Structure 1
Amino acid sequence: MHSLDAPGEPVTVHAPAGTVVGRRTGRIRRFLGIPFAEAPIGARRFAAPVPRGRFTEPFDASRHGATSQTVPLFETTTIPEPSLPGDDVLNLGVVAPDPDDDRAPFPVLVWIHGGGFLAGSPASPWYDGRAFARDGVVCVTVGYRLGVDGFGPLDGVPTNLGLRDLLLALDWVQENIAAFGGDPGRVTVAGQSAGGGAVLALLSSPAAGRRFHRAVSLSGGLFEVGEGAARDFLVRLGDRLGVPPTRAGFGGLTVDRVQRGVHLLRSERSDGPLVLGPVVGDDILPVPIADGLAVHGGGVPLLLGATGDEFDGGTPGIRDAAARAAGTRVTDTLFRAACPRAAASRRDAPAGTWLYSFEWPSPVLGGAVHCVDIPFFFDVLDAPGTAQALGARPPAQLATSMHGDLVAFVHGRSPAWESATGRPGDPAREYGRPGAAPAADTTGVFDPVVPVVSEAAEEC
């Protein structure tokens, strides 16, 4: 069996999308690589996503599907992020409890991976939803278009294609998840890093409608890229690749060549933490995200937070002082500042906003750095790559606490600590601070956040 295959015996689901054949292990079922849209190739490459037609034959969902990422952003990434070949990159995976479980129908968690809107993989073993299924939650992981193909503001091309992909995936969930035991009326959309930023963008969007009912942003941000800066980057990228910065120009190159060109150009210049990503001014994001949060999604409870160090970690002697100072600016401005800003934007929202801060320092990476909280929230401390990032003995009690809080939120319960307003002294839950309990309530953990200009960050 390939490492990307789902283990177990065949199990079949008959959904509106067609018959899907996955795998069952004990009381957990996995259905992987299910296309929710037509492959974005040919004339569809730079077009709005088109819903996938109903399967005429049983679909083999025994292994992960193709990924939008063709090459990782960096040679070594904190999260294992496999790049899988193929055209059907707009696919999703479903990990669900046994349908005979008396807790059915189950709430649904839809997970959006990170990677700076340029990279990342929904096939990471850190995103395996087995612990959620164990705890009565259907977990859906989603692939979406990245880089130029997902977020390049090209003339004649719909903007924010990556966000449009995610909206279509949420439509698929609404139409099909009941067949897998999920409750389409209890959908939580969640993500980390760029995925967390996508959650906040969708929450602020008038186009999101009632596709989801709760939201979670882990180390996300109010990520917007100025259209002028993005177009300037595309001009320089076109010069590097020898094509005009147009739909026809980039469309004449493979996705792999374009992604490699983006990564190379980023490595040579300091364009800031984001070079491509959500742009403001269309039907998806008509106004800046912070402004959109004040008028949209107010009825959707929001849980968001950041790690204590994000890009400010690193073992002393490994990162020099200048790099650490740059990491501090990125940590404070791009990630931690987004938490009180989002809470302030939602100050008048009828649904609550709750903050957390992850403080457990990885002994390997030298701090509570970007991405290391994910195995705790997913309760997958035994997943491949965790020992390399977390050390040999990450605290299981911390995973139990964090995962339990997230499961409770997805099940519709309000967090045990007070909601935030975006004012100084807001309450938050701290996870894993050395010498303290695994989870403890505190106040003012996000005060003050210094508004300085950030430099380039590495995405996990």
Structure 2
Amino acid sequence: MTDTDTEFVEVTTAAGRVRGRWRPTTGGRGNPRSAAFLGIPFAEPPVGARRFQAPVPKAPWAGVRDALVFAPTAQRGDPGVTLIPEPSVEGEATLNVNVFTPALRRAQGPGEAEEAGPGLPVLVWIHGGGYFAGSPASPWYDGRNFNRDGVVTVSISYRLGFDGFGWIEDAPSNRGVRDWLLALEWVQQNIAAFGGDPSRVTIAGQSAGGGAVLTLLGMEKAQHLFHGVYALSGALADVAPQRVEAFGRGLAAAAGVEPTVAGFSSLSEDRVLELQKKATRMGPNSLGTIVDEGLPLGPSIDGDLLPRSTRESLRAGVGADKPLVLGATDDEFTMAFTGAAERALRWVPQNFLLARLGLPKSARHAYLAANADVAGQGKARLAGRLLTDRMFRTALLNVVEDRGSAPTWLYRFAWPSGHFGFAEHCLDVPFFFDCLDGPSMEPLAGPNPPQGLADELHGTAVAFIAGGDPGWPRHEGAAGIARVYDVPTRDVADAYASVRPLRGAAS
């Protein structure tokens, strides 16, 4: 290992040696420095004959490979759908990992003895973006402050959109899921060299990334790859086989090719992306369709990796030995009803609006009574809360119920953004990573977001990753305790009571 007093540091992985760089952590406590190894390939580039196939482990290389800048991303351009700065990087080698560590094992050179003792706990982060966007190259996903607090951190990439999740007649299903699995295998094989303990891996993600880690929690074939799960605003896909096949056949028909590997391989990446965007374009009725039917591209029930829905697997006890923390922001998608949409809603009758957003008439009175504080702030806020409840908060309560007595902790992120005035989608991510000093923060959180709240949320995440318990009571029973992150933070019984009328209507 290179002397830690120099800028650069080298580590030997199973495929070859990589060179990273030391940087400072922030906050003035714990480990003062973090080593970043960016863009280490875990698979061969998924192009050419490998484009629509399962990922292939990266072949060994000679010499030292620089891991100093982010590698290519599956995301192309700026899709304009995420509030998190998630840059796209051009190139073909899109299957890679970024590793951040405060301490490396000493057995890095010929003849050196292996350092004794277990490694540090490990966080593996899966980015969101609706399964068609997002990037692991975000400065918000830098693990330096998890490193400061004794957690080795890894962010992973995976194929997106149709290349990652689309149905093709003679191609492996769920290619993006297979990318997650191979990346997690890479962690098991290599993380000890970076100072991590492969027997203490927590997988975490937000939005589609939160759905990804819940999908993995319910997947028998993934159970050996991780030991805890932290899901922020998890959006499960579980696309029905009929729907994913219909989408694939429709895309092929629109392109004038057969729905086969040969047919789709005749199309450029740009052409497939163009067709995908056209097929998933948001229209006036799109929100209702997505709430009712889910996303058209994402992990699908394929009879192989996902033999049944995630909820069925959880009810059957899959992943019951894994501790789970999950929660959501209070107003994930209220942003959809701001600006011009908010002004337009002034002329829409409330009952008509609620019906269009899928609230049954039988549940309307109870739901309005349970959410009187939000309803009092206008139709836009009420519509946003209902959409949030239907897409996120009802779903996470279902997961809690499906898990039964398995160790599960529930939270709400309720602190209102200083910019939006409510707790919107993505707002909790910089608090989780303790990166409130990062770029592009004010448009999401407003000026001077509370560092004390970041200390609390990040601290409980560290406690969970290190010891399997975030520090508040498990959620037990219909009215169990949840942590409510706000100023002040508090633990509340039945913290999701306002969602109950909606769950009763759906049952």
Length-normalised TM-score, structure 1: 0.90
Q: Which range moves more in the overlay, 306-315 or 57-66? A: 306-315
Cα displacement string for residues 296-354 of structure 1 (whole angstroms, at most 9, x for unaligned residues): 111110010000000024686553235766544431122111222111111143xx100
Provide the residue aligned with 1:3 in structure 2: none
Consecutive unaligned residues in structure 1, runs of 5 or more? 1-7, 455-460
Superposition deviation, residue 60 in structure 1: 0.9
Q: Letter of the aligned partner of 1:262 in structure 2?
A: Q
Structure 1 residues 329 and 244: alpha-carbon distance in aligned structure 2, compared to 1, 3 A threshold: farther
Partner residue in 1 for 2:243: 229
- Structure 1 counterpart SS, 2:409: strand
**Which of 419, 424, 432 lines up with 1:369 in the alignment?**
424
CA 1:56–1:282: 2 relative to 1, 3 Å: farther
User: Structure 1 counterpart of 2:152, which letter?
Assistant: V
Q: Which moved more, 1:375-384 or 1:386-395?
A: 386-395
Alpha carbons of structure 1 residues 249 and 328: separation in structure 2 relative to 1, 3 Å: farther
Shift of 1:46: 0.9
Partner of 2:93: 88
Give yes or no for contact 1:240–1:261 (8 Å, CA) kept in 2. yes
SS at match of 2:11: strand
- Mapped to 1, the partners of 2:404 and 2:503 lie a distance apart of 20
Q: Which has the higher helix share?
A: 2
Aligned 1:127-166 pairs, distance under 5 A: 127-166=141-180
Q: Could you tell me which of 389, 393, 404 is aligned with 1:336?
A: 393
Equivalent of residue 218 in structure 1, options 232, 242, 245: 232
SS at match of 1:110: strand
2:60 to 49, 54, 57: 54
Superposition pairs of residues 424-435 of structure 1, within 5 angstroms = 424-432=478-486
Q: CA separation in 2, counterparts of 1:319 and 1:171?
A: 45
- TM-fit CA distance, 1:391: 1.3
Kindly indicate whether residue 34 of structure 2 is the aligned counterpart of residue 28 of structure 1. yes
Aligned mates of 2:462, 2:183 — CA distance in 1 = 22
Displacement of 1:268:
4.9
After superposition, the C-alpha distances for 1:150-188 in whole angstroms (9 at most, x for unaligned) are 111211111111111101101000100011111111100
Q: 1:256 to 1:96 in 2, by over 3 A?
A: farther
Secondary structure of 1:95's counterpart equals strand
Matched, 1:416 2:471: yes
Q: Which moved more, 1:290-299 or 1:165-174?
A: 290-299
SS for the counterpart of 1:208 is: helix
Change (3 A) 1:391 1:268: closer
> Structure 2 length as normaliser, TM-score?
0.82
Alpha-carbon distance in 1 for matches of 2:266, 2:246? 20
Residues 252-278 of structure 1, C-alpha deviations (whole Å, 9 max, x = no match): 223233223322332254352512011
**SS of 1:210 mapped into structure 2:** helix
Structure 2 equivalent of residue 5 of structure 1: none
The Cα of 1:234 is off from its aligned counterpart by: 2.9
Displacement after TM superposition at 1:109 (Å): 0.2
Per the alignment, residue 111 of structure 1 pairs with 125
Alignment gaps of 5+ in structure 2: 1-5, 25-32, 107-115, 346-352, 354-379
The answer (yes or no) to whether the contact 1:103–1:136 under 8 Å persists in 2 is: no
- Given that residues 418 and 427 in structure 1 are in contact (C-alpha distance below 8 angstroms), is that contact kept between their aligned partners in structure 2? yes
Matched, 1:282 2:278: no
- Over 3 Å counting, the alpha-carbon distance change for 1:265 and 1:325 in structure 2 is farther
Matched, 1:310 2:332: yes
What aligned pairs does 1:384-399 form with structure 2 within 5 A after superposition?
384-399=439-454
2:280 alignment partner, SS class? helix
Share of identical aligned residues, percent?
A: 47
Amino acid in the other structure paired with 2:391: L
| Matched-pair contact (CA < 8 Å) for 2:463–2:471 | no
Task: Report deviation, 1:23.
Answer: 0.7
The residue aligned with 2:360 is none
State how far apart, in whole Å, the 1-side matches of 2:457 and 2:85 are: 21
1:353 equivalent to 2:408? Answer yes
Give 1:100 shift. 8.1
Contact in 2 for aligned 1:315/1:366 (Cα 8 Å): no
Larger radius of gyration: 2
Whichever residue aligns with residue 452 of structure 2, its letter is Q
Distance 2:478 2:68 in 1: 49
Moved segments of 4+, more than 6 Å:
100-104
RMSD value over aligned CA atoms?
2.3
Residue 125 of structure 1: aligned partner? 139
Paired position in structure 2 for 1:169 = 183
The whole-number CA distance in structure 2 between the counterparts of 1:36 and 1:100 is 20
Amino acid at match of 1:418: P
Alignment CA distance shift 1:90-1:146 (3 Å): same
- Listed one character per residue, the Cα deviations across residues 353-394 of structure 1 (whole Å, up to 9, x for unaligned) are 000000111122331011011000000011111122111211
Count, aligned residues? 439
Task: State the shift of 1:103 in Å.
Answer: 9.7
Letter in 2 for 1:274: L
Match of 2:496 in 1: 446
TM-aligned CA deviation for residue 122 of structure 1: 0.4
Q: 1:365 to 1:239 in 2, by over 3 A?
A: farther
Q: Alpha carbons of 1:21 and 1:267: their partners in 2 closer, same or farther (altered >3 Å)?
A: same
Whether the 8 Å CA contact 1:333–1:453 is kept in 2: the answer is no
CA shift digits 1:384-442 (9 cap, x unpaired)? 11122111211111101000000111111412222124x4212100001xxx41x2101
Which sits farther off after the overlay, 170-179 or 443-452? 443-452
Distance 2:99 2:91 in 1: 19
Choose 239-248 or 226-235, whichever is displaced more.
Answer: 239-248
Cα shift at 1:133: 0.7
